[in-house]
Amino acid sequence: MTALPPDPEPDLTPGSEPGGGVNPGETPPDSGSTTTGLSHHERTPPKATAGRIVIAIIVLFAVLVAAMLLTRAFLLV
């Protein structure tokens, strides 16, 4: 099966002159395209600061838990 060419047929396009040109003031016909609209938009990767903030929160939580456990251990003695 042979695919049709993406360009419009000059003989069948209204407003075209012989040889494929267009009349002055006319807009030439657009060629077919398969490159636009076929791929999905890729998300931008998260910023490096977002990862650092998450790591800082985890470290802060771990330090607070360790401080709580050490305080409790010394109070029980």
Exposure b/e, 5-29, CB count within 10 A at least 16 = b = eeeeeeeeeeebeeeeeeeeeeeeb
- pLDDT, tens digit, 9 for 90 and up, residues 8-25: 666 666 666 666 666 676
At 67 the pLDDT is: 94
At 64 the pLDDT is: 97
> Largest alpha-carbon pair distance within the chain?
102
At 17 the pLDDT is: 65
- Is pTM beyond 0.85? Reply is no
- The CA-based angle 19-14-38, given to 5 degrees, is 95
Q: Which two tokens stand for residue 64?
A: 């607070």
